[in-house]
Amino acid sequence: MEQKIVTKENFLYPRSRYYGQVKPENLVFNANLQEFAQKISYVCNLETGGKLQPEEAYEQIKALWKNLKRTRKQLQIGDNPFQNGDENAEG
């Protein structure tokens, strides 16, 4: 049985496999979304543990959300909700 080497980076920032429609912008957004979720988890845990004030946690989450929204706009994710990538599809 082959053993997978776990690096510090993989342990702290795990990535899940992407099963959606494979397009470059979808892959980039998925990576950004996973990073967003990981950072949100850290902020929530720090706030829950009393290491971060609720107002500071809120501001950090708000900044992370704005960054994710900006990324989505730049990648034009969701701009054409009825276009599925198939040029011959009728709609």
Q: Read off the DSSP letter of residue 20.
A: S
* Residue-wise pLDDT tens digits, 26-85: 999 999 999 999 999 999 999 999 999 999 999 999 999 999 999 999 999 987 755 655
Residue 10 has a pLDDT of: 75
Annotated domain spans of the chain = 22-73
Classify 38 as helix, strand or coil: helix
Q: Within its chain, how far is the Cα of 9 from the centroid?
A: 16
